[in-house]
Amino acid sequence: MHSLYQKARCPFCGVEFNASIKSVVGDEAEVACPNGHVFTISISNSDFVLDCEIRDWERFSLLPQSTQQAVLEVIQSGRVPPDMQALMRRLRDAGVVVCT
C-alpha cells in the first residue's frame, strides 16, 4: 500500500507539516500533526490513487509502451497528473486497473 503526503497546517497549533494520507473517505482524510492534534483535511480524489494494481495484463499490454510506463509510474507514485486522469478513470472503469 502506498502512502501519500500532502502539506497541511494544524488548525490547533499552526504547525505546517507533510500529512501522511493512508486512507480516504469521500474527499476527506484524517491526519495528525506532529504535536498529536487530529483533524480532517480536504483532498481531491482525482489527484491520487491508493493501493492500485493491474488486473488485466492482456488488455494492458495492448496500450502503447509509453502509456504503459506512464500508468506504472502513476501506480507507483500514487499521484495522477491532470493529463492522466481521464485515462486512469477509463482503465478503472474497464477493470484493467483496480484501486481500493
pLDDT of 46-82, one tens digit each?
667 778 899 999 999 999 999 999 999 998 888 888 8
The pLDDT of residue 62 is: 96
The pLDDT of residue 5 is: 62
3-class DSSP state of 96: coil
CA distances in angstroms from 44 to 34, 38, 55, listed in the order given: 23, 20, 24
Q: Determine the Cα–Cα distance for residues 67 and 100; give it in Å rounded to an integer.
A: 22
Q: Which of 52, 58, 62 is nearest to 92 (CA)?
A: 52
Asked if 1 and 51 count as a contact pair (C-beta separation under 8 A), the reply is: yes
Q: Determine the Cα–Cα distance for residues 91 and 87; give it in Å rounded to an integer.
A: 6
The pLDDT of residue 1 is: 37
Q: What is the pLDDT of residues 12-46, one digit of tens each?
A: 999 998 887 766 676 778 888 999 999 988 776 56
Q: What is the pTM of this model?
A: 0.59
CA distances in angstroms from 83 to 19, 63, 79, listed in the order given: 25, 16, 12
